[in-house]
């Protein structure tokens, strides 16, 4: 990898990747999608050389933008025959380096497959292409009184195909689950060009292995998803939002544990530490008390009676654990403002320093307080600014380091710190990633979670689907998790970051 000094063609051509697709093969690929959807100039390729994960970058040879499953199948046959790496992607909002074409080859931009086929109100399903934006699914189904719960922070940008590939989570994961809990059926193209249909609209289906669930979260390493059938649920009748402030960070974490132990499952139970609150307030200007050490944002939905009862009990728990203030939003607009402030956390943090490295580590809820303490200790040990926020209700924290990738010594300390954070999560019975995926960023740590037997089994599954290893190579099973440092600049030399959560 190189450090870019400009966006001139010569510099762009020197980034790693590329040079694995012969001209004759490019001509064949161009004939499949048409010249308007075949991209191979240096500037066009540069746009697809990175995703929302800082510090990773590699150039593809060509970018193709297919419009149908037939075009995808034809592309896959060419790629498989010529052993060309192929990386499928949507908006590129993932945070694990999952769509960086580290071995060059073909990037498939799936955004043209964005048809919304149907909303089936009898079977409570929706069927659509992988290029549909997540927020558009929410809007469409809610217009007819239905609900698709998964809500990743990038939902206004991310595509459903990317959500499925990474098994995206979100703030409603505590009560409603994540993407895998709502995908009932898939159409996908295998590496050899065969079109596979798995699952469907049946509420019950145990015919053979559950290949649908296997493809969800497979990060583009097994097949290319071309159509999605998702489960819907009735739209909740009522919703209420509450905020609680604490002068003790551990007390906030204990509150989360006690709420769940009381058998109350909020729709959303989010945590922000003081450092995050300060930055969010500077960004959103909603009046957060900056002398507090932590805050919880809690949302409940359901019947009006149940929401009122649950929120009253949650407020009592917050106060009993030392919350200095517990306030319920008086209007829907006020509640939406609080939730928007939480969604803005990563964007707000990204304004502070040139590089924002956001990770996710998940532990059982009972160990949340211990994990929060560990992050603080590790940040002090390595003299780093690490802000912590996340989906506290499901034990999923996002320790976020504010740094500058040009400072190689500090970046080394960042890597050491996150390695310790991952080890701490595993020791507390957790995992190295709750919702971001493995990709390149966590590949060197996957064995900590699944062990040698699990690693061997996953590799054999991968080989069964993709014997020539062309599907998103260098991901999940990569040899090293070390980040490849690249400073991305534009012509004026200004640093630009791209991050969504």
Give the domain range for residue 191: 116-234
Decide: 176 and 149 in contact? Cβ < 8 Å.
yes
Do residues 217 and 122 both lie within one domain? yes
Spatial neighbors of 324 by CB under 8 A, at least 6 apart, are 245, 246, 247, 292
| CA-based max dimension of the chain | 71
Q: What is the pLDDT of residue 338?
A: 84
Do residues 120 and 34 both lie within one domain? no
Decide: 264 and 314 in contact? Cβ < 8 Å.
yes
Separation CA 151–CA 164 (nearest Å):
12
Q: Is the pLDDT of residue 362 over 90?
A: yes
Q: What is the pLDDT of residue 490?
A: 31
Q: What is the pLDDT of residue 501?
A: 37
Which whole-number Å values give the CA distances from 369 to 244, 365, 373, in the listed order? 16, 8, 6
Rounded to an integer, the average pLDDT of 157-184 is 96
Decide: 17 and 40 in contact? Cβ < 8 Å.
no
Do residues 293 and 147 both lie within one domain? no
Encoding tokens for residue 131? Answer: 């290029």
Do residues 415 and 298 both lie within one domain? yes
| Nearest Cα to Cα of residue 134 among 192, 81, 91, 86 | 91
Encoding tokens for residue 246? Answer: 């604490």
Spatial neighbors of 36 by CB under 8 A, at least 6 apart, are none
Asked if the structure places residue 198 within a domain, the reply is yes
User: pLDDT tens digits for 98-141?
Assistant: 999 999 999 999 999 999 999 999 999 999 999 999 999 999 99
Do residues 225 and 279 both lie within one domain? no
Q: What is the pLDDT of residue 131?
A: 98
Do residues 268 and 398 both lie within one domain? yes
Decide: 169 and 152 in contact? Cβ < 8 Å.
yes
Do residues 134 and 251 both lie within one domain? no
Q: What is the pLDDT of residue 479?
A: 60
DSSP structure class, residue 491? T
The domain boundary, picked from 209, 234, 259, lies at 234
Decide: 97 and 56 in contact? Cβ < 8 Å.
yes
Do residues 253 and 394 both lie within one domain? yes
Query: DSSP strand E in 29-115: where?
Result: 38-39, 62-64, 86-89, 106-109
Q: What is the pLDDT of residue 337?
A: 84
Containing 341, the helix (H) or strand (E) segment is: helix 332-343
User: pLDDT tens digits for 430-482?
Assistant: 999 999 999 999 999 999 999 999 999 999 999 999 999 999 999 998 664 44
Number of structural domains (the chain) is 3
Do residues 285 and 143 both lie within one domain? no
| 3-state SS class at 411 | helix
Rounded to an integer, the average pLDDT of 158-175 is 96
Asked if the structure places residue 469 within a domain, the reply is no
For residues 241-275, one letter each, b for 16 or more C-beta atoms within 10 angstroms of the residue's C-beta and e for the rest, the string is bbbbbbeebbbbbbbbbebbeeebebbbbbbbbbb
Q: What is the pLDDT of residue 209?
A: 97
Question: What's the CATH number where 288 sits?
Answer: 3.40.462.40
The domain boundary, picked from 212, 234, 256, lies at 234
Asked if the structure places residue 487 within a domain, the reply is no
Q: Which residue has the tokens 């037939």?
A: 70
* Count of C-beta atoms within a 10 Å radius of residue 369: 20
Q: What is the pLDDT of residue 481?
A: 42
Separation CA 97–CA 52 (nearest Å):
7
Asked if the structure places residue 440 within a domain, the reply is no
* Count of C-beta atoms within a 10 Å radius of residue 293: 17
DSSP 146-199: EE-----TTTTT-BHHHHHHHT---TTHHHH--GGGTEEEEEEE-TTS-EEEEE
User: pLDDT tens digits for 383-399?
Assistant: 999 999 999 999 999 99
Do residues 94 and 171 both lie within one domain? no
Asked if the structure places residue 71 within a domain, the reply is yes
Do residues 121 and 94 both lie within one domain? no
For residues 320-329, one letter each, b for 16 or more C-beta atoms within 10 angstroms of the residue's C-beta and e for the rest, the string is ebebbebebb
DSSP structure class, residue 434? S
Q: What is the pLDDT of residue 53?
A: 94
Asked if the structure places residue 265 within a domain, the reply is yes
Asked if the structure places residue 132 within a domain, the reply is yes
Encoding tokens for residue 371? Answer: 């994990």
Do residues 263 and 290 both lie within one domain? yes
The domain boundary, picked from 186, 212, 234, lies at 234
Q: Is the pLDDT of residue 484 over 60?
A: no
Between strands 125-128 and 224-231, the pairing is antiparallel
DSSP structure class, residue 165? H
Separation CA 433–CA 97 (nearest Å):
13
pLDDT band for 327, please (50, 70, 90 cuts).
very high
Q: What is the pLDDT of residue 347?
A: 85
DSSP structure class, residue 159? B
| 3-state SS class at 147 | strand
pLDDT band for 369, please (50, 70, 90 cuts).
confident
Question: What's the CATH number where 223 sits?
Answer: 3.30.465.10
């Amino acid at each position: 990898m190189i450090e870019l000094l400009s966006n001139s063609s010569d510099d762009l051509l020197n980034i790693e990747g590329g040079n694995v697709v012969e001209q004759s093969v490019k001509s064949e690929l161009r004939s499949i999608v048409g010249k308007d959807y075949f991209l191979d100039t240096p500037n066009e390729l540069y746009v697809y050389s990175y995703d929302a994960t800082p510090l990773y970058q590699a150039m593809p040879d060509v970018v193709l933008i297919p419009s149908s499953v037939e075009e995808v199948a034809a592309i896959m046959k060419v790629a498989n025959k010529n052993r060309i790496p192929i990386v499928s992607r949507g908006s590129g909002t993932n945070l694990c380096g999952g769509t960086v074409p580290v071995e060059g080859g073909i990037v498939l931009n799936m955004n043209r497959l964005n048809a919304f086929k149907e909303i089936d109100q009898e079977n409570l399903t929706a069927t659509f292409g992988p290029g549909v934006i997540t927020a558009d699914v929410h809007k469409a189904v809610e217009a007819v009184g239905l609900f698709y719960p998964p809500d990743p922070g990038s939902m206004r940008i991310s595509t459903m195909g990317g959500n499925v590939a990474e098994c995206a989570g979100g703030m409603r994961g505590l009560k409603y689950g994540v993407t895998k809990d709502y995908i009932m059926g898939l159409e996908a193209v295998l590496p050899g060009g065969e079109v596979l249909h798995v699952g469907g609209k049946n509420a019950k289906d145990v015919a053979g292995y559950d290949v649908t669930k296997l493809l969800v979260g497979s990060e583009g390493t097994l097949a290319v998803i071309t159509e999605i059938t998702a489960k819907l649920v009735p739209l909740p009748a009522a919703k209420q939002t509450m905020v609680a402030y604490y002068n003790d960070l551990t007390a906030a974490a204990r509150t989360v544990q006690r709420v769940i132990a009381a058998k109350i499952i909020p729709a959303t139970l989010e945590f922000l530490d003081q450092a995050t609150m300060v930055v969010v307030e500077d960004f959103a200007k909603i009046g957060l008390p900056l002398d507090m050490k932590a805050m919880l944002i809690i949302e409940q939905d359901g019947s009006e009676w149940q929401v009122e009862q649950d929120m009253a009990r949650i407020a009592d728990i917050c106060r009993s654990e030392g919350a200095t203030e517990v306030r319920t939003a008086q209007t829907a607009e006020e509640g939406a403002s609080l939730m928007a402030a939480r969604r803005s956390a990563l964007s707000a943090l990204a304004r502070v320093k040139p590089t924002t490295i956001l990770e996710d580590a998940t532990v059982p809820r009972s160990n949340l307080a211990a994990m929060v303490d560990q992050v603080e200790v590790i940040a002090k040990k390595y003299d780093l600014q690490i802000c912590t926020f996340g989906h506290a209700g499901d034990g999923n924290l996002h320790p976020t380091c504010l740094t500058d990738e040009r400072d190689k010594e500090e970046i080394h300390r960042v890597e050491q710190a996150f390695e310790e954070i991952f080890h701490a999560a595993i020791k507390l019975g957790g995992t190295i990633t709750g919702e971001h995926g493995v990709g390149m960023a966590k590949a060197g740590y996957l064995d900590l979670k699944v062990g040698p037997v699990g690693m061997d089994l996953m590799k054999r599954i991968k080989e069964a689907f993709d014997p020539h290893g062309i599907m998103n190579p260098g991901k999940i099973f990569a040899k090293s998790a070390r980040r490849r440092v690249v400073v991305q600049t534009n012509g004026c030399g200004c640093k630009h970051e791209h991050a969504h959560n």
